Structure 1
Amino acid sequence: MHRAVASMTVFCTCALHPGIPAQAAQHAGHGGSDLLMAVPSTPTGGDPFLVRFTADTPSTFTVMFAGGCFPLFARNIETAPVYETYLASSVPARGGFTLAVRDERTGTTVARLRMRIRPRVPVVKHMSAVYVKTRKRRPANSEQNRMLTKALRTRSSERLWTGPFVLPLDSVIVSSFGVQRIVAGGLSYYHNGVDLRGGLGTPVRAPNDGVVVLVGRNFNAHGNCLVLDHGQGITSCYLHQIHVREGDRVSREDTIATVGNTGWSTGAHLHYGVYVQGKATDPIAWSRLTGDTADGE
């Protein structure tokens, strides 16, 4: 590991506008020869997908999806100007959505694609009395949550990762992504990562190359937490012990943490989360998707 230089943040400048009608054509502008695609074409709610846009000529492009506007990043593909980004829907998302690509130089929408989000099979878990008591003893701290949210929404311009993401721990999943957790008093939320079984002190490895952008110590809810920036809107987080410093640059399979039991945790494990443009996504689906698409294949 070595210290990393600061990276530039990419800002989206396009204005949000009302949704595009379902009957809109896939191609618009540039003579109708642009190509816009999503991989997979029908992702499940909460799962990630790749957006790939092939343009007639190079420009600066953004893509609008589900009320958000995101930069498209140029890929070094010689045959045509190709632009890509990864996106994810929310866990409860389902039904029809529209992707709309905008040329920021001309201020025009140049491609549209109607896609469908498949509903995620609902799984509900009622949290234990021990967990409820732990939450009451350690009420969430708004400033700590703000710091974590800001780190998870990091969008640096350089793509730091290559190839598929590996799991940070060779273990079994004890709590899956997207489970609706019911807490006493009617409170509920979706689990925004996977919990991997592990004994105290078991080494945790980086799933891919990245830069440490947050080291949180003894946060009320999340305990000891670590966030890696992998570039271009992809971040990952780890709870509950940390072996790196903010600014460290890490490589795939470097040891970055160990399994712990901090914050609202009621037993030793690793919480592993992946975020795409600030949206929590299924880490298992992310590893599968990057295995298929990470190198532009």
Structure 2
Amino acid sequence: MEFQHSDYHNIYSHHEPVLLKESIENLITDQNGIYIDATFGGGGHSYAILRKLNKGGTLIAFDQDKESIKRNFIKDKRFHLFHNNFIHIRDILNQNNIKKVSGILADLGLSSLQIDDPERGFSNQLNCPLDMRMNQESSYSAQNVLNECSKKELFNIFYEYGEFKNARKIVEKILKKRFQKKITTSLDLINLFFIHGSFKRRKRFFARLFQSIRIEVNNEINILKDFLLKSSKIIRKGGRIAIISYHSLEDRITKYFFKKGILINKINLKNLPFRMIHKKVIKPSLQEIIRNPRSRSARLRIGEKA
């Protein structure tokens, strides 16, 4: 492999991959197989996968964020990176005459590079333009959601994606504000709400609020369902899929699909495509959480193709 130690250090100085050991050790069953990193991000998981593969192995990675593509430091003949959303996984494989793969990894969280860049508008800790597009070539941003979605659409976003019981009150505040002035920055949005109680409660409220909008902007739930279904058709028997999620909605969808073949009232498969490798969800260790607090909410589930 054509890596320098400094390259290895750099990826962790900017973005430490979550549940790295647990996900890679459970994913790799064939060191000469073809693997997919569906969410390249900072490159940490891809780097670790390549270290586990033999010379005959192949890794295909996807990322819809052009900044992640630009920052790619991996120079390896076994590695192929595509600027694409993983929803196009079957198209890319077909174009390269690949019918089956040995495993797929998807880390559904944001990278630290995305969160810490104020111009991207993902963080509720910074005053920045409301954007939240993972694919910057998309024309649909957080500002479009907040200023153009109907009352019913906004209710569904906050009720379903943020699981807010008081979604109607949240929507009313947004509608009232945007009637007076367009909502354009994170501070515009945050100042609409006064949350009683502890700092922890306020932090959780705004995390869920921003999460709801981000999911809508990037169509994350529908893409995850489509991805799970497509993955079940391209992983070879005995191959594995590892999904790292960061909120209950994503984790619940993954869990039900692995255990029952159900995609939340949409598709109910008669034959289960995967079997669960671990009965209980895998969570970060206390040591990892201390080292990387952003890993706290991460949940890893592993499925093996039946």
Calculate the TM-score normalised by the size of structure 2.
Answer: 0.26
More helix by share: 2
Calculate the TM-score normalised by the size of structure 1.
Answer: 0.26
